[in-house]
Amino acid sequence: MNILQINSSARAGNSHSTRLANAIVEKLRAAHPNAGFALRDLGAQPHPELDENTLGALFTPADKRTPEQQARVALDDALIAEVQAADVLVIGVPMYNFGVPAQLKHWIDAIARANVTFRYTANGPEGLLKGKKVYFAMTRGGVYRDTPADIQTQYLKTFFGFLGMTDVEFIYAEGLAMGPDAERQGLDAAFAQIETAVA
């Protein structure tokens, strides 16, 4: 088993989503002591955004790319290779203004590549990253789970499903900005969920 942990919090320390992601990984590694492990911290090392120059590089045939274009595509290639090699992904996802952090969105844009991680067929799109388990450590200041305001969860289900990753588990810590008692209850609930949901 190969485990890939993705941290996306902008906080270098005191990140609840990173704490939860760490706990998920610890439980996985305890159950699978020989598992491989890789960590990508998008807060500490942000991936560049998808801009016009990047699109130009991606849509230029590989043998015609400039050295600068080759270097830019290589950054995305490295992220794709990490995901392809992983059997289990553990992703820390704080809620920022109802969405995912920009750092995570840049990673998402990088790993979605036609004919590499998905393809279009006569029957519609097909994800090419099948057979992987994904755990999301979701942290929110308020309480949004199973409400219309939780557009974050549906977005992640849709995107990862599009790439073929349909075996997903969401671990929620909510109410973290609603006072000390609510914060403690939210974290306790999340750690309890990890104990039952992570194998």
Residue 118 annotated as binding?
no
Predicted pLDDT at 199: 80
Q: Tell me: is residue 186 an annotated ligand-binding position.
A: no
Could you tell me which of 175, 177, 199, 179 has the C-alpha nearest to residue 189? 175
Residue 103's Cβ-count burial label (10 Å; 0-12, 13-18, 19+) is: buried
96: annotated binding-site residue?
Answer: yes
Task: For the full predicted model, state whether its pTM sits above 0.85.
Answer: yes
How high is the pLDDT of residue 13? 82
- Residue 59 among known ligand-binding residues: no
Q: For the chain (length 199 residues), average pLDDT per consecutive 10?
A: 97 92 97 97 96 96 96 98 98 97 98 97 96 98 96 98 98 97 97 93
The CATH number covering residue 128 comes to 3.40.50.360
Structural domain of 188: 2-197
Q: Do the annotations mark residue 1 as ligand-binding?
A: no
Tell me whether residue 120 is annotated as binding. no
**Total number of domains constituting the chain:** 1
Phi (first) and psi of residue 131, to 5 degrees: 80, 20
Is residue 141 part of an annotated ligand binding site? yes
**pLDDT value at residue 12:** 80
Angle at 126 between CA 124 and CA 72, to 5 degrees: 115
User: Which pLDDT score is estimated for 112?
Assistant: 97
